[in-house]
Structure 1
Amino acid sequence: MARHLSRRLAQAVLVVAGVVVLTFVVMRLVPGDPAVTYAGPRASAAQLAEVRRRLGFDRPLTVQLWEYLSALVRGDWGTSLRTHQTVLKDISTAFPASIELVGTAMLAAVLAGIPLGLLAARHARGPVDGSVRVSSMLAVSVPVFLLALVMQNVFATKLGWLPVAGEYDATLDTTSPLHVYTNITAVDALLTGNWPILGSTLRHLVLPSLAIAAYPIGVVAQMTRAALIEESAQNHARLERALGFTRWQVLTRFSLRPAFGPVLALLALVFAFSLVNAFLVESVFDWPGLGRYAADAIRSSDTPAIAGVTIAVALTYVVVNLLVDLAQAAIDPRVRMT
């Protein structure tokens, strides 16, 4: 297990290093002068030259790359040209809101997708299986931004069942101010016993998290179904049926655990895809997460912020993949041999 972990860690470091170098190169190839964004369009030539010197843009690219890598290792991700705050501070404030949204969506994907896949495998090639497959295909096919707009228009604007936008009711900042510890509003409200904000946050979470969860639910349901059907065709499943176990018992007691390995691997990919989809959903529901921060950075050509968002997403993807890989190794010892 230790050898498996060290090998995966080495691969993760190489992936992150590659993303950082590629991000730096792309950041330098983007048209425009970052010094103008930082100093403002009315800055004089002398002021722009001073900004370039202060930010290190007047040095050779190899020196800039080395200094950039060294600063990242020290935790210095640069300064946002738009907010004039450190990029790491901006991201640490915005990213938790995105994790709150995507985490809720992934929880819904696991709680709904796996049972749906199990149900489809139990009634393979029957009406229930067909219904699950058609529903999952629709969930996978609908663009997330379109689904978000439809849900917002139907359930928030027309029916008025749920809030239209925002993370929670802004008036609660006056009546029930929230003490921030993690920047994940639902967690902070739960830790501090702030029930008004917790209730409001959960209501605001429903529509955007369901919009993001549609694709993962469909993919997880399809993968669970396929993995269970394949596992139930193995020799051990035939032996278990011969010993008198029902098809449902064979699926839940003997086939689900080995079939869960591919589903876990899929969850890591789906998480990364959902994190990118969250950027679109955050724009629709005015959710104060990393997507809104990235959109503002792109509009203002804030290259350090754009690079910081890219690296943050890449690091999250690598960490999630590593955790899923370790979980797979714990569930199925055969994974450690690969």
Structure 2
Amino acid sequence: MRYLTQRLAQSALVVAGVVALTFAITRLVPGDPAVTYAGPRATARQLAAVRKQLGLDAPLSEQLWRYVTGLIRGDWGTSLHTRRTVLADISTALPATLELVGCALVLAVAVGVPLGLLGAHLRRGKGRWGRAVGDGSVRMTSMLAVSVPAFLLALAVQNLFAAQLGWFPVAGEYTPSLNQTSPLQHLTHLTLLDSLLTGNWPVLGSALAHLVLPALVMAAYPVGVVAQMTRAALLEEVAAPHARLERAYGFSRWQVLTRFSLRPASGPLLALLALVFAFSLVNAFLVEQVFNWPGLGRYASSAITSADAPAVAGVTVVVALTYVLTNLLVDLTQAVIDPRVRLS
């Protein structure tokens, strides 16, 4: 309980700082939100009415108080561009991004952990030539995955697999014509889950086909990072005294890696996944623009180009909350796995 209380207090301070900073930035951005909302041809009386409606005529301290209490109540303001509440817009756009990022992270773990495990095994194997070629290939692959810019990789896979080979659709979440032939019933706004729960197989097949390319692009950076971290953590573990004892008992190098070293090495990997998840949310902004994916990134890009301050602030708060909650969950999981964390 003491550790949990400390982490909750730290998370609350981080969220409070992000909220205050977001409020300050939205007020310092050039431009008049009232003009953006009412239009350039609005009269002085109309602008005054809009400022009163949006609460822009109150002192900054009162505006901050209204903003914070509104966030707590679920009133995140009104988008200047869509004229809908920001929370309604985000609740519609966020599931698509979470679906994309979640699939990318699952793919990253499924590929990155075995790749790092293979690199550590080859590094500790016999033969200098084998170590140099095998482990070097794994390291070069992970470094290449980390180094390639997301937008460049997105354009490359679009050109190769969509335009040239025609294996996958080039953009979108699923085929738009299915809205007439097989309309999707929205339960969670997660297209894959909703189509699976409602038995909408045409939408499910189309959504899976549309998801492949953006998920591959999103997973490239996490694959490289996860592979490098897994390799480094495992090499540190197999150099510990317990690994020599296990080898003395007759266990093979592969058994020492998988049975005895992988679990203690998972602590740093979990912390890394929290950072990668937050990075992927931001990285999704570029990927969603290239693939025309209807998620939070495309909504944020539209809000930035239209100077929609409430929408930009809402997206910033959502990303910050997601990052804080993910780190909190990872810290609690680490405390369960390794008692040294909660006792430190």
Where on the TM-score scale, by shorter chain, does this alignment land: which range? over 0.9
Structure 1 CA distance, aligned partners of 2:312 and 2:176? 28
Q: Structure 1 residue 219 and structure 2 residue 225: aligned?
A: yes
Residue 224 of structure 1: CA displacement?
0.2
Residue 126 of structure 1: CA displacement?
3.8
Structure 2 CA distance, aligned partners of 1:147 and 1:81? 33
Secondary structure of the residue aligned to 2:264 is: helix
Counterpart position of 2:322: 316
Counterpart position of 1:26: 25
Residue 7 of structure 1: CA displacement?
1.2
Structure 1 CA distance, aligned partners of 2:132 and 2:212? 32
Counterpart position of 1:131: 137
Counterpart position of 2:127: none
Structure 1 CA distance, aligned partners of 2:32 and 2:343? 50
Counterpart position of 1:6: 5
- Hey, which bits of structure 1, 4+ residues long, moved more than 3 A? none
Counterpart position of 2:257: 251
Structure 2 CA distance, aligned partners of 1:68 and 1:174? 41
**Offset from partner CA, 1:197-230 (integer Å, 9 cap, x none):** 1111111111001101000000000000000000
Structure 2 CA distance, aligned partners of 1:90 and 1:275? 17
Structure 2 CA distance, aligned partners of 1:333 and 1:109? 27
Counterpart position of 1:81: 80
Q: Structure 1 residue 119 and structure 2 residue 81: aligned?
A: no
**1:267-286 equivalences in 2 (<5 Å):** 267-286=273-292
Counterpart position of 1:151: 157
Structure 1 CA distance, aligned partners of 2:11 and 2:199? 38
**Gapped runs of 5+ residues in structure 2?**
124-130
Residue 129 of structure 1: CA displacement?
1.2
Residue 127 of structure 1: CA displacement?
2.0
**1:58-97 equivalences in 2 (<5 Å):** 58-97=57-96
Counterpart position of 2:197: 191
Structure 2 CA distance, aligned partners of 1:47 and 1:282? 36
Structure 1 CA distance, aligned partners of 2:308 and 2:50? 14
Query: Quick one: which amino acid aligns to residue 122 of structure 1?
Result: H
Counterpart position of 1:108: 107
Q: What RMSD over aligned residues (CA atoms) do the two structures have, in Å?
A: 0.7
Residue 265 of structure 1: CA displacement?
0.5
- 317-326 or 211-220, which deviates more: 317-326
Residue 93 of structure 1: CA displacement?
0.2
Residue 298 of structure 1: CA displacement?
0.8
**Offset from partner CA, 1:56-102 (integer Å, 9 cap, x none):** 11111111101111111111100111111110000000000000000
Counterpart position of 2:333: 327
TM-score computed with the length of structure 1 as normaliser: 0.99
Counterpart position of 1:307: 313
Query: Quick one: which amino acid aligns to residue 296 of structure 1?
Result: S
**1:29-48 equivalences in 2 (<5 Å):** 29-48=28-47
- 324-333 or 304-313, which deviates more: 324-333
**Offset from partner CA, 1:219-270 (integer Å, 9 cap, x none):** 0000000000000000000000001000000000000000010011000011
Residue 170 of structure 1: CA displacement?
0.9
Query: Quick one: which amino acid aligns to residue 153 of structure 1?
Result: N
Query: Quick one: which amino acid aligns to residue 43 of structure 2?
Result: S
Residue 333 of structure 1: CA displacement?
1.0
**Offset from partner CA, 1:255-296 (integer Å, 9 cap, x none):** 000001001100001111111111100000000000111111
Structure 1 CA distance, aligned partners of 2:117 and 2:96? 32
Query: Quick one: which amino acid aligns to residue 164 of structure 2?
Result: K
**1:138-177 equivalences in 2 (<5 Å):** 138-177=144-183
Q: Structure 1 residue 289 and structure 2 residue 295: aligned?
A: yes
Q: How many residues align?
A: 337
Query: Quick one: which amino acid aligns to residue 29 of structure 2?
Result: V
Structure 2 CA distance, aligned partners of 1:37 and 1:191? 41
Secondary structure of the residue aligned to 2:75 is: coil
Secondary structure of the residue aligned to 2:176 is: coil
Structure 1 CA distance, aligned partners of 2:304 and 2:267? 38
Structure 2 CA distance, aligned partners of 1:79 and 1:62? 20
**Offset from partner CA, 1:34-65 (integer Å, 9 cap, x none):** 00111111110110011001111111111110
Query: Residue 272 of structure 2 is aligned with which of 254, 263, 266?
Result: 266
Structure 1 CA distance, aligned partners of 2:111 and 2:337? 21
- 90-99 or 4-13, which deviates more: 4-13
Structure 1 CA distance, aligned partners of 2:297 and 2:285? 4
Query: Residue 304 of structure 2 is aligned with which of 283, 298, 301?
Result: 298
TM-score computed with the length of structure 2 as normaliser: 0.97
